[in-house]
Amino acid sequence: GMAQNTIKAYRRDLIQFQNIMLSQDISDPFLVKLDNLYDYLGVLWQKDMASTTIARKLACIRGFYDFQQARGNIKANPAKKLDTVKRKQSLPQVLSEKEVDKLLEAPKGDILGLRDKAMLELLYATGMRVSEMLDLDIGDIELDGGFVRCRGKGEKERIVPLGDIAKEALLEYLNYSRPKLNKKRNDAYFLNNRGDRLSRQGFWKIMKAYTKEVGITKEISPHTLRHSFATHLLKNGADLRTVQELLGHADIATTQIYTHLSQGRIRQVYRKTHPRGVKKESPD
């Protein structure tokens, strides 16, 4: 058998893994995909852990999924292809602006399509966490003022602005779709077919279906639009503090993960704008 200490360490690793997955809106370990594992890896790198510690943690996760696969609980081990050493790959998958456009145009104009369009537009317009969006009640979105009242982690509230396209999609949903779904006089903003608050699992199924429909082959997670929102803002010149505020990150170090994704853009701005960014040709 294993040494007690090793078992204890593995138990700690699995609990930490579970908590990080919950923060990514994944409550079922059997739904974890390779992309989510890279998100997990990103969190570990952020904590500046020794690579030996990270290797142990990943071995533990791999072992856990091997075991589940052997027991027939999952078809394939999502951790099999996880490359431990490549730090840069711990970055979350991000859709290009074109891919986002395709995804947001996918829903049809029927009752559920209007709802789905409103949700996808809202996620990309605000960068909200999926759980924050599904927790919204009527009254949390001010369409006239153009903002969302968002309850983040630890019940911290933040106000996030809404763009015109998202406002339009939300208005359509409120006028033509929600009244038909609202069979139970429910306060929840986004409702399922039965008139209850839409669940994370419900949303995840919807998101995956549209991604497949428009032919996006990247590994996505429920937070893909949040990651894309942050990256596109930085790429187009937004500053880190603003993005931190919008995402509701307590610590700017978390927001910095996204700077890697738009590092090329940041270097370019720096070289252009910093007086000593580019070495001038010195006269002979």
- List, by residue number, the catalytic residues: 129, 153, 223, 226, 249, 258
Three-class SS of 66-98: HHHHHCCCCCCCCCCCCCCCCHHHHCCCCCCHH
From the DSSP assignment, how many helices (H) and strands (E) are in the chain? 13, 3
Q: Determine contact, residues 234/240, Cβ cutoff 8 Å.
A: yes
Main-chain phi, psi angles of 126, to 5 degrees: -115, -20
Residue whose pair of structure tokens reads 């153009």 in the numeric block? 146
- Report the alpha-carbon distance of residue 52 to residue 249 in Å, rounded: 28
Q: Determine contact, residues 248/149, Cβ cutoff 8 Å.
A: no
- Report the alpha-carbon distance of residue 162 to residue 167 in Å, rounded: 7
Which amino acid appears at position 94 of this protein?
Answer: V
Q: Determine contact, residues 150/159, Cβ cutoff 8 Å.
A: yes
**Under the phi-then-psi rule, with left for phi > 0, alpha for psi from -120 to 50, and beta for the rest, what region is 153?**
beta
Q: Determine contact, residues 37/79, Cβ cutoff 8 Å.
A: yes
